[in-house]
Structure 1
Amino acid sequence: MPLPSRPTGRPLAVAAVALATALSAAGCGAGPAGTAGPAPGTGAKAAEKSGARAPETAEEKAPAAQRTPAPAGGTEAEWVDRFLASVEGTRKAHSVTVDAAMRGGGGGRKATVRMSSNRDKECRTTSSFGGPGTVEVLRTRDGSVYLRLNEARLRELGEADPERLASHIRTFAGRWMAGDPASAEIQQGLRLCDFRELVLASVPTRDQTGGIAAKAARTTVNGRAALRITTAKDGIGISVDFAAEGRPVLLRMEQKGGDGPFVMVFSGYGEPVRAAKPPAESIVTREAARRALGR
């Protein structure tokens, strides 16, 4: 997400690829056969409500933000200080929720995800892939991992045999499955839990922020006053919104153009992450899973 005086979209593009890879692992490998599973969640709807809309409809409907050389008439150094403080505020927050929406290049399939995580390693993600199907991943404080799919996702996975599909739905739909945290597939899916770190690793250092005030603007994110800095190069535009008042944190990021346009909205700072172990009666037993899979 570089915002130097000679802008480039490369670091943020790398972060977008990481998001796409993690989403792919969470969705394409998610199913009873891979012990991957999602839950009827609010990923796509939550993303829409929080402002993480699909990139092609992400234009702000409000009047264009008023241009200003620096926040509250301050100096460029003060603007940069606020931006870097917001990056650090997001990095140090005990918990945060990220709603993201992205498409593949050429108008490909839209993916949405809601990720809530905290410093206690608790994490909950809900992903969807252009349809009503959802995949939910839950990581508890002790590192245990559970997955859940809804019926729509089970149908999206394309089981051709009607009897097997019916068995999968009876056994797995809306119920949790224990995952092996050491498996490569689960580890890949859990990258979503650490996406905050992937993004923040891409932010510029102080000596890379020269000239950002020249493309600075005032805006709002979900009703909260924000400052926006933008950069563009090679047909890729990047914007970052951060809090103008109160606690300095990131509020929104967007990429337009390129192979993976996306929108990310940050919220829920300091709020609880509800990632307790599911009740025993809602967890599919190994025996039930083996029977449903014909093993």
Structure 2
Amino acid sequence: MSGFRRVASALAAGAASALLAGFGAPAGNGIEDESARVIVDRARAELAGARSVHMVAQVQDAAGSTVLDLRLDVNGNCAGRVGLPKGGGSAEMVKRGQDIWLKPDTAFLKSQVPGPAGEDAAALINDRWIHGSAENVLLRGLTQVCDLSGFQRKYAAQPVSENLTKGGTATVDGASAITVTGRDGADTATYYVATEGKPRLLRVEGVENGQRGRADFSDYNEPVPAGTPPPQESVDLSDLR
């Protein structure tokens, strides 16, 4: 084999090896060998440092189940959906900067605006998006829902006070995880922390103050979709008052 052919063959073999390596399983991060406290602290640190995240949360209480499915970032942008308990309906929502769009279904509108006024609102909106400012008092609650930085300050960055016990392995949406369970009086929380790639918090579930909840976290640092509803499919909030 000529020198050129030998070099070409070696380059081809190296390229093939690199390509196959790219399809290999993610490398283990060794977090499962750490103490329960270190596992939870590192996972919460990952969440506290995230620039954006996809959060799917569900809370069950006496009123029923409230569901939140949002992609949100530290700049206050978000996009997703919220569902209310006991037939309260659901609404899509988009926040970009200081602008908020909300697309409620009829059940959502009637649960928030009871009586004939709800019927009138549904007819006026006519399956369009409601557009308003984040500073509007009626939309202020949605602004807080989209505040990843606030969530990080109040939850992700705060130390855990529970007594922690390391558990076994689990799978969250196809990702391998190690579990840690914390107990603080009657409250319990189980943390699922990724054992491949970065030790990110994938799920936390448990009971607090009698409310059962679960939150899944994925797509760390993936940008929030930048698209906003077109003007022809929106109605300004000021036109509804």
TM-score (normalised: structure 1): 0.61
Match of 1:188 among 134, 137, 141: 141
Deviations 1:27-78 (A, max 9, x none): xxxxxxxxxxxxxxxxxxxxxxxxxxxxxxxxxxxxxxxxxxx955x353xx
Distance in structure 1 (CA, Å) of the matches to 2:229 and 2:79: 12
Deviations 1:226-259 (A, max 9, x none): 0111122332211111111112211101122633
- 1:273 paired with 2:224, answer yes
Q: Is the 8 A contact 2:203 2:215 kept in 1?
A: yes
Q: CA RMSD in A?
A: 2.8
Distance in structure 1 (CA, Å) of the matches to 2:72 and 2:166: 32
Distance in structure 2 (CA, Å) of the matches to 1:286 and 1:246: 44
The equivalent of 2:121 in structure 1 is 168
State the 1:264 CA deviation: 0.7
Match of 2:100 among 145, 150, 159: 145
Q: Which residues of structure 2 form unaligned runs of 5+?
A: 1-29
Q: Is the 8 A contact 2:48 2:157 kept in 1?
A: no
The total of aligned residue pairs comes to 208
State the 1:92 CA deviation: 2.2
The equivalent of 1:97 in structure 2 is 54
Q: Is the 8 A contact 2:76 2:147 kept in 1?
A: no
Match of 2:213 among 254, 262, 276: 262
State the 1:176 CA deviation: 1.6
Query: 1:101-116 counterparts in 2 under 5 A?
Result: 101-104=58-61, 107-116=62-71
Distance in structure 1 (CA, Å) of the matches to 2:110 and 2:34: 56
Match of 1:177 among 130, 138, 147: 130
1:215 match: secondary structure: strand
The equivalent of 2:13 in structure 1 is none
Letter in 2 for 1:134: S
Match of 1:118 among 73, 83, 89: 73
State the 1:154 CA deviation: 2.1
Letter in 1 for 2:51: H
Q: Is the 8 A contact 2:74 2:147 kept in 1?
A: no
Change (3 A) 1:181 1:174: same
Q: Is the 8 A contact 2:59 2:211 kept in 1?
A: yes
Distance in structure 2 (CA, Å) of the matches to 1:158 and 1:186: 14
State the 1:165 CA deviation: 4.5
- 1:236 paired with 2:187, answer yes
Distance in structure 2 (CA, Å) of the matches to 1:137 and 1:75: 40
The equivalent of 1:289 in structure 2 is 240
Q: Is the 8 A contact 1:227 1:241 kept in 2?
A: yes
Change (3 A) 1:115 1:286: closer
Q: Which residues of structure 1 form unaligned runs of 5+?
A: 1-69, 291-295
The equivalent of 2:198 in structure 1 is 247
Q: Is the 8 A contact 1:148 1:173 kept in 2?
A: no
1:86 match: secondary structure: helix
- 1:200 paired with 2:159, answer no
Letter in 1 for 2:166: K
The equivalent of 2:91 in structure 1 is 135
